[in-house]
A and B are shown apart, each in its own frame.
Chain A
């Protein structure tokens, strides 16, 4: 059991280090366009879409630093940091929830 957790954790850390490879995939994801991209496609922005689209300002939008320079190294650092934040908070929350929930 401990061996499995250890090995899976090593796998996870390797994935985190290589996470910036995900930045190489340039291209848009279907249905995840910003209002500007929608305008380019259609010539207009649906009014409801425009209204809702800026509802929330995330502290690290698109796994990047706000106002940070967009060099590949800077983006990679932000991307790995995002992975670390996701792993620590996400894993931590689930560990806490799991400890509370598990009976035996």
Chain B
């Protein structure tokens, strides 16, 4: 190894090299002093150890003084110089060596708290196989342009956000959504950059590339979240800015009063609020990193601290507790066969934008009434979410209505040839002066009590049938409600559905409370009223249409945020996958983080109190004070890092 290499090695590993050199000099100095009784040589070695270990510290102290602040490096430098002046050579060397060692260990462990972020950074794809001029060429992933077609081989990382145009495969989306099970993808499905293709080759048209992918947005968000200060941090930093100079004054005062130089210098050594300042950020960075790995995006320490106090979670029903894809479950004919009832309903609904209309049309096209004994909400489909075909190509075609009119919130009125069709709720039939016979009324009530939505179908002023639709509960919904209740959180369901349907779903979930027949602004008012009752409220919704309620709640949680910028940008927490089970995790993680911050503050304050009383009682000297101080700093870092494995 020539000198150039030694120099490069030392530049690269300066910190550990300094620690080792300072430690060796200290050890030799101590041996020389203790076993060979050579006080001068020992003192010289100790001063050298302090100089080697303290050079960088002193330089930092000089720079911080120039920017008119007092940091721990200032305190340590003062203490070491003071110790040498009063002839406490070994104390000076010990303090400097321990401080350098502590700093090195601290930087190493702090680096580990960033491991979650580093992992995400490693997920970013490097290269892409892109189709250009009829050839497949390999280019850096960032060089792919929007609209280009990339080929993703089995085992390769998807290089861009995009849409599958050819091929079929299972994709491991854990890096982006936190879903552990692979997701089946075929033509028309969305894929995300950084996810891993497992089986077949895919051709993907890029919709987002470079810095404009979901993964990059997550990484940016996690960084910003980790950089945003929580209220506790801000308070502590403000306190620390005054605390350190105050310690210098206290040390000077103590020396003036007692004349005990060692005690005054010891005060300087232990006077840094290191553990106090470092504790909260470590807890928060670890928690945010750990959440990101599980597909939960936390928007910053502030929301984590708030989320730790949550005692009520409100769920939007449709699309959150349920799959949000209503299907026709039963068709009842009254004086008309079921197939015709469904067909007339479909003709009337053909031009409607209502979400129930699609389900009625689909059932009619398939030419079968829904499964007549489907047990909505209890079917647990634990498989991967496969897209339903949006139209059955071989079913009967549904003609357009000749006239069509929507009655908002009630249903539709249409004309087909010479038949007048009315499809809607009871209020619409009352408006039109159409009688609802008792058997129909009873049937509608039964269906609603089963948690379904029942729609009347009338032909030329006579009720001819009832179409019932159900929206399947998500398999995890009941478990999630129970998990939150176990964590001491009250659960409430909010829905625009009618009272009977809502009650049935609420009973099945064993949810604490529900509010039915709410308009969107009434949902927001409900959230507001919970807050006025003194609750800290989280609202879970599917992002876009629940925006006002999400904004009103103390913590807004958006579901299924992968791929949608708006949800990622506006919610306080975003679940990347449509995975309800993450909600108890997010809530309990937030609570654990609040505890963790509290523990860290307690450790830090406890250490300072212990050390101060030790100094005044004469038990603690410079070296031991430094040792305990370093120990407390490492302890809070390690305690915060426990959240990484939460």
Partners in one complex: no
